Homo-oligomer: A and B are copies of this chain.
């Protein structure tokens, strides 16, 4: 009745990041307690007592973010919580509560919803987080999950994407590319299953990369490690869209360049062998695969000694000059400019 049909710009022309940038331009901040709005892993709200509240939200929709053809509901619940806790950790914060919005079509039974909640509960228990609220409603189209995580940090320890400085060391927790290879494996088995529904999925021996895809863990241990060593990262982000995309966020928001060394990028042997079997370049899987939920952060060179030889982390490069670009340095010392692969659903 009231629809305006005159102008029409397709969302696909902007892409996800473009749309968010476009909308964020028109959003002002005026509440005195808001320290950071859109544009980081979580919003930062001042409590006025030296502490901040961190808030992050994610919406996951069936057929876009997950395929119930091969993602068990319990794993989906676990992952949905994990990835939000990861965003709190990426501010150098500690998650404490989550609220859950759930849209369900009548395809779902109570038992299915219980499975989903069992997974969410497991993740909450593991990270000492309380599920404190939610909204459960009908959806016309499959499952929609909306998770908001709440956490806290000391105000002077919050790590923004924008704080990296020249000569800071770039550090990565864990290894990359595993979640992406796990996804390739599941997609392949789904095709086999579609062709022959009596076939059993051949997933044995691939536990590590399957877990990386189906059951990622937020790196709260890294936040605690840094705290115990007295290190405040100068910048931090979690690797949800691939290392390439994340280092570009840090460079863009900090205003500096970065050099990453290809041979330093940590890859698990199973990621490498599976990538080989799929005729994929392992480093590319790490750079662009995404969903690893590792922490990418920068520290002052003077803090590096405290972290050296720690098996949980790998130094992969350093921040370069003001206005420089992000580059990948090959073992032959060639420099390749890193461009956004991003993650475009539209």
Give chain A's interface residues, CB within 8 Å of chain B: 1-4, 7-14, 16, 19-20, 22-23, 26-27, 29-31, 33-34, 36-38, 42-43, 45, 47-49, 51, 53, 55-65, 68-70, 72, 96-97, 99-104, 106, 108-111, 113-115, 117, 121, 125, 128-142, 144, 146, 148, 150, 152, 189-190, 193, 201, 345-346
Contacts of A68 in B (CB 8 A): 3
CB–CB B103/A56 < 8 A: no
Q: Are A111 and B7 in contact (CB under 8 A)?
A: yes
Contacts of A29 in B (CB 8 A): 130, 132
Copies of this protein chain in the complex: 2
A38 & B97 in contact (Cβ 8 Å cutoff): no
The answer on a CB contact under 8 Å between A38 and B106 is: no
Let me know if B31 and A128 touch, CB within 8 A: yes
By beta carbon, the residue of chain B nearest A44 is B132
A11 x B113 contact (CB < 8 A) = yes
Contact assessment for B130 and A31 in the assembled complex, using a CB-CB cutoff below 8 Å: yes
Task: Determine which of B58, B100, B201 lies in contact with A135 in the assembled complex, contact meaning CB atoms within 8 Å.
Answer: B58
Given that A33-B96, A37-B130, A131-B38 are known contacts, is A57 also in contact with B148, CB under 8 Å in the complex? yes
Residue in contact with A137 in the complex, picked from B4, B8, B345, CB distance below 8 Å: B345
The answer to whether A10 and B106 touch across the interface, beta carbons within 8 angstroms, is: yes
